[in-house]
Structures are given as C-alpha cells and as structure tokens.
C-alpha cells in the first residue's frame, strides 16, 4: 500500500500537487521482497505499529511517533510489518512546496525537501500530537475540496502550519547533529532565505550569486541539481507569489503593486504576470474576488 500511496499521480489528486492519507489499518499489498522507486517526495508519521524499510543503502526501523522523509526517486523495500500499523502519509510536488515555502519564516523546512537521503527522527509525544493534528487538517481540507470548492486560503494556511512544525523539528534536531547537510544543500537554503527577503526588489540571478559569493552559473547549476529548477525559475516564482498576494488585497491599486515589485511600468508588470500565469493582473484580481464571494 505504501508503494501505491507514495507513487500516486499528483497531477490527478484532489488538490493538484498535494496528496495526504490517514491509514487506520495498513494492508500489505506489496510483496516483502519487492522493491520500488518513489516517484514523489513523501513524509510519513507513524501512529501505531512498527515496520522496517530499506531506503537506498540504509535500513530504518520505524515505531510510533517516528517521522520519516522519503526522498523522490529513492529505491525502497518494505522488509517487515508488525502489529496494527497506523500512519499518516503526505506527498507533494516540488512546485507545490515552492509556492508555499518561499517565506523567510518557513525556508528552513526546505531542508527536508532538497535532501536526496532519507531522514528519520524520533519525535517526542507533544511533537507527534501537534504534527498529527496538522496532517488531519490538511486531509480534511483536501477531502472537502471537491464538494465545497477549494478554499485556497485554508489550504495555504494548513500547509504552512505543516511547514512551520517541520521547521521547529529541524531547529531542534540539528542541535545534536542528527541531521547533516552538504555544502550544496546549505547553499540552496541560503539562496532561498535571501530570495524570500529580497524577491520584491531583486529580480536577477547576479544579485543572489553576489550575495552568496558564487558565480551565477554555479548558483544556477546547484539549484538545478537539487530542485530541478534554475535560480531564475525560483526568482520568477517568488515574484509571482508576492504579486498574487498583493493583488488579492483590493486596497492596493495595480500601479502601486507594479511599483512595489520594482517594475518600470504597469505595462511591464502586466506582461510579466500574464506570461507566467496566463492571466492579466486585473483578471486575476477579479477571479480572486469571485472565489472569496463563493466561500
């Protein structure tokens, strides 16, 4: 069952790019001698029972309150399953994560997403309880999206809560060196941190490369290796996220938004926004107002 859930097509999930499950009774459907490759990044939280899994070259024994990060494109094999296994599983695409992570308060949670090695952390009871509640919130928001229409704000808030809890977990468990990160991974986090602070004003790779004391080519290469996107792609995404947030606030006119985002004119801002979203700023604002009316 784990194989099927972590390899779900995220483009066809209820919320595109995001899938979450609460497993109350695990059913073994994959032969214990069958290996499989993960197609998505997935994070598992164990509620009850135990199981043993081999991920790449490491073997992990999972028990209640354990958190396990399964990286994308990892070779896995379920070795043992004991007792009544209950767990939470969340999978999401890099696009979905970037759209919700590019905030300076949440950037540290990205360490869990860019690593190509599994991460296992034994949580304390309070950490488990809080994180399990957030899983449930995301689950119910996603489940109700078909019948009630997607509440984008609630979806964003619930996923941000999840990222915030991961950030707290990261901050605590890096103190005892239980997580070690490469220079490339650290460079990505530094880049994302600077991007989350300066994306409104700084639109070019040269600025971020200079701040990190690397060449633009090197920064693009490392970002592409670890995220599948170039540094320029992420800069554009960050600007679009900021633009959407500003457009959803009807108190700001589009001219002021263009100025705040350092565009030379309303026209250049409109061309940029439509190129990357297929909507003009005016159309996007109108659509967001309609969504709000139908909540």
The Cα-based distances of 159 to 14, 57, 208, 225 in angstroms read 15, 31, 27, 25
Structural domains in the chain, sorted by start: 2-173 (2.60.120.280), 183-293 (1.10.10.60)
pLDDT band at 147 (very low <50, low <70, confident <90, very high): very low
Mean of the per-residue pLDDT values for the chain? Answer: 84
Q: Is residue 293 predicted with pLDDT exceeding 80?
A: no
Q: Is residue 167 predicted with pLDDT exceeding 70?
A: yes
Q: Is residue 178 predicted with pLDDT exceeding 60?
A: no
Q: Closest Cα to residue 168, out of 133, 223, 126, 137?
A: 126
Question: Is the model more confident about 122 or about 157?
Answer: 122
Whether the pTM exceeds 0.95: the reply is: no
Q: Residues 149-163: pLDDT tens digits?
A: 456 667 778 888 898
Q: Is residue 106 predicted with pLDDT exceeding 80?
A: no
Distance separating alpha carbons of residues 280 and 286, to the nearest angstrom: 10
pLDDT band at 257 (very low <50, low <70, confident <90, very high): very high
Q: Residues 49-101: pLDDT tens digits?
A: 998 888 888 888 999 999 998 888 888 888 888 878 899 999 988 778 777 76
């Amino acid at each position: 069952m784990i194989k099927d859930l972590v390899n779900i097509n995220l483009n066809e999930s209820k919320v595109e790019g995001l899938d979450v499950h609460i497993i109350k009774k695990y059913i073994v459907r994959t032969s214990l001698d069958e290996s499989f490759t993960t197609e998505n990044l997935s994070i598992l939280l164990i509620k009850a029972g135990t199981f043993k899994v081999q991920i790449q070259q490491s073997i992990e024994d999972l028990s209640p309150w354990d958190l396990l990060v399964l990286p994308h494109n990892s070779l896995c094999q379920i070795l043992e399953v004991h007792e009544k296994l209950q767990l939470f599983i969340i999978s999401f695409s890099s696009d979905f994560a970037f759209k919700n992570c590019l905030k300076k308060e949440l950037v540290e949670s990205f360490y869990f997403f860019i690593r190509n090695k599994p991460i296992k952390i034994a949580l304390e009871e309070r950490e488990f309880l809080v994180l399990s509640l957030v899983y449930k919130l995301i689950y119910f928001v996603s489940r109700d999206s078909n019948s009630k229409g997607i509440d984008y704000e609630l979806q964003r808030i619930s996923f941000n809560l999840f990222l915030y809890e991961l950030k707290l977990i990261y901050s605590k468990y890096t103190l005892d060196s239980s997580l070690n990160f490469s220079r490339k991974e650290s460079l990505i986090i530094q880049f994302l941190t600077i991007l989350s602070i300066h994306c409104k004003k700084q639109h070019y790779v040269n600025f971020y490369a200079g701040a990190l004391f690397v060449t633009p080519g090197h920064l693009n290469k490392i970002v592409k290796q670890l995220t599948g996107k170039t540094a320029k792609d992420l800069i554009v995404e960050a600007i679009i996220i900021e633009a959407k947030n500003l457009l959803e606030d009807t108190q700001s006119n589009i001219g002021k938004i263009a100025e705040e985002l350092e565009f030379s004119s309303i026209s250049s801002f409109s061309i940029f926004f439509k190129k990357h979203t297929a909507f003009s700023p005016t159309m996007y604002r109108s659509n967001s107002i309609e969504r709000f009316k139908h909540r």
